[in-house]
Structure 1
């Protein structure tokens, strides 16, 4: 029986029965009317028995749903879903709640178990939105969604803190990725900067270089920021640019001398110009005079002691620029020889009160 009515072998059904089994072949399974409640009743002289089965059309269900995705303007964009169901399956698409169909904006490809929506206007911002795919047959419906957004911008290489020397080329560079159009803006110490006699900006689809044209001046130092943005997001990075501080490459060294020998102290350094050099002896500033002669270059300073009678003492050299300062010192010792015995007078070391001693 089907739905309470007797059925028998015909163009719609075929029945195969043995001593212990019976099979009903439904020949019109290509039509919806094959669905229903089937019953099988068996009987003999002793009694009867019956069993039932509900036959339904296979409902639609998604095997692979739409996935949220990002896209770049001008690059191919397609949405894919796969499903399982009894035919005939109807597929419909929507964007932001409004029906869409094959047109100059969209192309739809549908098979018995899959559907692809090709977004043809992916070169425009309006391609972004909330897409939905609905599938249905005579049994039920199912729906899935995907949010399509522009690929957000992000830095691949950010700005990094750096030092520079006055007068030497200075550039800041970032690289990034994301959907076009990408806008780049720069600030220094919180104030916008742009191409001018102080700055030059070079931009490509994935990088930007800021050339600082006034790097011959100390004002080039500061906190620089680069902000990138597109229609979906923004990102920012920062870098502190400072003058290269001075540091000693070769410091002063303790020296002993004889009265008849020349006496000079030399040290070398590196750092951004302008470097200022000052000398002290026993804590007191000294300057060019009949006692001292100075020689200073971009990387070296030398002190020639002309009056060697009272040259012994603690000498100190300090170098400084706008980025920092450094200091070094050395003892100068008077060495005389009498009868093969060396006389050495060590001047007090301010860092070691127990240092002074005299040998005769």
Structure 2
């Protein structure tokens, strides 16, 4: 069995070799046996072999060798095969020489050096082109060498496919492409914090949208007013949101802007609305809002408003006023400003004058603002509706709705009044009442009533009231009055003194009075006695007994009016007496009068 020709690993240049063979001129008859083996020798060294002949095949490898990986220097193999194909048409005699013993001997070592995979390939896989080439005449053996390269190159591939190839290592999943880097949004709230003759201090806030790329810093740029020659004043990116622009010329007007920078590039700039004058401020403007204006200022409709708001600042600040963010109406509000204060004056206030007034004082690029709330109020309107919901017994249920006009302030309560149809006089039954319904009780049976409600705010009661359309009549009901049966009680009793007489002492010529109290039923008769002698109608004594209080008045007593006085009370159930002692003393006489 003829040996399997050594495959040519790469036959990329077989067509050019064949073309050179066809174009080559007739070779000289002189034999050249040595160049062919010399030229063919490098090919087996690189894994290639010349086409086999009908002669005995090279001895097969005794033991299969492990498959040799493809040579790293495959390119030199092509370079070695190209000279062989180029030298083949040198002579017709060279072809028979290639089929002689030296060629076979040279092919034998090449076959021994073939990879085990090629040697172990079955005979059925030998391409027919290689079999035909082995049986062809010797003079045509060298010519199809280039043509056999392509079929021979397929044999190792089939042999390697027959063996189980090693599984390839799984590849890691391809990561998604990174998101595109975008710049941040523009910084916000850029304004001047301070300035002097040579520097300007600015502050700002970071952008609202920073994005995934983060924020690397800020670039501060300036240019003089009237030009667009923007220049960065910071060499490195500024991390904080405050920067001092130094070494400026006094009197220059600078336009300033700030740009945020990140991996996506520069953000849109934020620029100061006006150019900044590099000049020191002697005294910053400040509004000194009075304490009573820091809260809501309330006035009635028709009142005169005269508010003075002082301020400071040097040079003289520029004062501006706005109402609810809009300029003031010069026909309604007058503003007079001096170097120290500003006066808000309204001659006759109206409801429309209510609102938020803002005062702004400005010196160059610095300003200060203060707001005050002015509320003009008036009496409210009456409740919108009022009705009688129900009437039962001596009660009436009422309901009403809040007024349409509250007087530009809150409703503090309601006042409910009733009137009897007979008299027509109104009487207040509820005052400072906060609910929108009420029950009026203790009405008189048989009378007919009307009701009305006033609304109340901080200015007072509404001028008019909401009156019920209908009337509430308290009907009479059949009631049989049965007075209770009381058992009469006997209150009769004998006289009894509740307060006795007390001993007294008096001076000659000074009137005195004796007192006691007595009770009894029926009313007892009282009798006064002196030393057990009944005092009659003596004009010197005055006897009085009113509501059980008995008194005896002794007018200008003398030396003989002293003694024991007795009061005696008598009725049909008995009698009682009380006594006391009266002492009449002589008036003291001075020693001079005695002489």
| TM-score normalised to structure 1 length | 0.34
Whose helix fraction is larger, Structure 1's or Structure 2's? 2
| TM-score normalised to structure 2 length | 0.22
Q: Which has the higher contact order (CA 8 A, sep 6+)?
A: 1
